[in-house]
Amino acid sequence: MAVDRRVFLTALALAGATGARSTAAAAKPIVVVHKDPSCGCCGAWVEHIAAAGFPTRVVEDVRVNAVKARLGVPVAMRSCHTAEVDGYVIEGHVPVAALERLLAERPAVRGLAVPGMPIGSPGMEVPGEPAETYDVMAFGTDSAAVFMRFRGSDRIDG
């Protein structure tokens, strides 16, 4: 019986160690969000990302345009907040579905952007207003390209 108990306890310990590694491997990378202290919609976008399981850290800075320039966000693609995640730049109200696809596929781009602040995009929901259709753009290659298309937080490009 002592041998069976040792075998059982060893198997249990190994299963626990394997489970811990699996959980750690599945952990999502931290999203560091740079925003102006006076921006309210940025906080709503952070909540959208956090609700999907991404750990977040917010850095408030009145010089957020300097951060955008340092990270290579094209002027035409700029919005209200800029995030860094796992080597990529996320500009504006990018839906979590686009962020997850970016991290899964790892294309050779600098990042994703939702130029402007489309009504209905994550963090820009307005009660009683219909969500706008907008593009999530990939940038940092020779030219920007549509990465995904959304209406609100819903993907509409296939």
pTM here? 0.82
Rounded to whole angstroms, how far apart are CA atoms 148 and 63? 29
pLDDT digits (tens, 9 = 90+) for 74-125: 999 999 999 999 999 999 999 999 999 999 999 999 999 999 899 999 999 9
Q: Which helix (H) or strand (E) holds 150?
A: strand 145-151
* Residue 6 domain flag: no
Q: Tell whether the model's pLDDT for residue 155 goes beyond 50.
A: yes
Residue 7, domain member (yes or no): no
Residue 20 lies in a domain: no
**Residue 45 to residues 24, 54, 80, 107, Cα–Cα distance (Å):** 25, 12, 11, 23
pLDDT band at 71 (very low <50, low <70, confident <90, very high): very high
- The yes-or-no verdict on residue 44 having pLDDT over 80 is yes
26 within some domain: no
CA 8, CA 113: separation in Å to the nearest integer?
Answer: 52
Asked whether residue 14 is assigned to any structural domain, the reply reads no
Range of the domain at 68: 31-155
Domain count, the chain: 1
Q: Is residue 111 part of a domain?
A: yes
In a domain, 107, yes or no: yes
- Asked if residue 2 is part of any domain, the answer here is no
